[in-house]
Chains A and B, each alone.
Chain A
Amino acid sequence: MYDKTVRRRRAVLALLVVLSLILLTAYFGESSEGGLHSVQRGFLTVVSPIQEGANKALKPVRDLFSWFGDTLHAKEQLAEVRKQNDKLRKEVTSERADEHGYHELLGLYHLDQLSLNSYRPVTATVVGKSPNLWYSTIWIDKGTSSGVRRNDPVVNEEGLVGKVAQAAPDGAVVDLITDSEVGVSARINGTNATGVVQPKVGEPNDLVLQYLPGGTSANRGENVVTSGTIESPDDSLYPPGIPIGQVSSEGEESGFKSVNVHPLVDLHDLNVVQVLTYTPGSKPAQLVSLQSGFPDLGQTTTTGSEGSQFTSASTSGGSG
């Protein structure tokens, strides 16, 4: 009797461990369109409405807890915000003078065809976020039924938030720009040198703009924006000019230069975001369809005004 119990206990443990390992191996080995990912998407479809309901019902409880933390933070932030406000006021004054000329140039070169006007922003509420360090993801309450697709860029009023990783009919998972899976082609505003923004190893709340050409000048406080280029056919085609962060310090330089970037968006306090979706036949749709046809040769592909100007890594400043 005792032997039977022991044998059964060991068999159950072995079975569960083997089952976990099989799941792990299968999941890790398959593509994002594989069977287990589909099951996960199906689960997301079922869970999204429940999560949304729970999120709304329990918001007062969360707000109560958040209030204590926010009050403590608010005092610290006030002085910093006042300083930034002074700085921004000066910047706005000088930049307004440049704005007119900038729009003239955009119109002249037809570069505004890829601006946000070509997209159909879908406003979504954040209904959950990943609780651990390993995944920087959030869940939103809009999915494929609202036109949200995988790889669609996600922004809020402050700048770039991330991209859609998985989409179910009534919900989607968004990889934040601080997720290790995300790399964004970007440039320092006002320069042509492009690099890749990735999470900073060791400081998950900060970013680093890597692979800038050596000798690129980067001053503290300069804005880093999306460049409108991609690194591989599977990347998100972020529209150019979306603010990502500000240069906080210069990093290492060995062949390529890197600068540390502090994200503009407070990724810990996201409530509402916008997914930049596109309609079939629009300019972004044409570019995405063009992008999916590229072979993954490790080259950087730059989308120009007509979506037909491509340059390799060597000609785009070594951003690959």
Chain B
Amino acid sequence: MLPNQLTPEHFAAYPPEARQLATKQLSLLQRLPLAFLPLLLRELIVYDWKFPAERIDLDRQFTYLAHPQILTTAMAPFAQLRMTRELEQTDWVNSPAVFSEQLSAHLWATHQIDTFRNAAVDYVGKATASAPDPPLPTHRLGIGIIGQGVAKNDYRLFRKLRPQGTYYTQIKHNGGVQTLLAAAAARAKTHPVPYGHWYIDGATSLPVPEGVSRISYSALATPRTALQSRMLKTYEASVFDPEAFRTMLAQMKPEDVGLASGSDGLLNRFQLSLLTEGSGTQVFATTFVQWAARETLRRAQPLTIVARFTPRQRDKQMNELLAESQRKPELDPQGSLVDADMGAYYTWLNQQRLPGEDKSAFLVWFEDHDEALAIAPSLERGKRSDTPTELADLIARLA
């Protein structure tokens, strides 16, 4: 099927809000090329479980494409891509993620991936620039907490971030984690924005007020165990189709892995996506926190994010990693510190990709140690401070 053959009935299986939006935008959808439309539908089909920032972005794309001249220009590179009969025959309306996988393979195989990539980058940039972002109620603040359980460290921390901010070597940190969480909670209270404030923990999370969305590796133990069990069976099977397995993961629902259906449905969907779309998030706590922070920033575009990295299990054979729930895993605190140091850098990078980056602030602290690094417009770059500094004072300056 081609896009111009679309009718409202094709969206019958979509969730209510997604169906309503698809029907409303049907005439536009019919004019989009096959190399582009399913990618848009991949976002649209989960509209009911989109964060507010994502909905704004999707709505902005529809507004952008509503101009006929813009539509023609923006879609021209996609329309010129060579497609196949097999791709046309894929059920791209109801399984746009499957189509995306197949399209990706096709573009790589036919050496069209660079053309596609350039067209996609150009489209996203222009669509984003087509309408101003709504003003932020306050600047963004990111907090990384790294190195739990490490007594002595020889690794040069914050090596990627030091040029961006001030490196503190004499941090006074009594009650440090609580201090940082309190700062996040205070921001959530002052600026109550739905899904605007987040706390991600690699182990068991500490209590935070309701205004802070909270996810943790430990709290997802049941879904992870259920998912790991499925992965283990697949891993040990004599024949394995990786693409079918990915499709299975993509079609999984929160209730399939025991994520409570009565609570926050959007958050449940998001947490499931971290486990089914992330690589390594199912077995390594450090990877989970880094990926969760990345996805939170990319999708929810929060004002505040606290990412606390904790020790991951030591590297083992995959079937042992997947059997994490059946034994007490051996931890690797030192390796996890190195992972977390890079994870904090990536968290800052992802925060800087969001609107308001020129005013945003970031703090990374080596948990229970004297080292921290802070980035803010008011702080000098590439500077080292050996002055004793209270963590509470530092976060107060940033928050």
Note whether A and B form a binding pair: no
Give the interface of B toward A (CB within 8 A). Answer: none
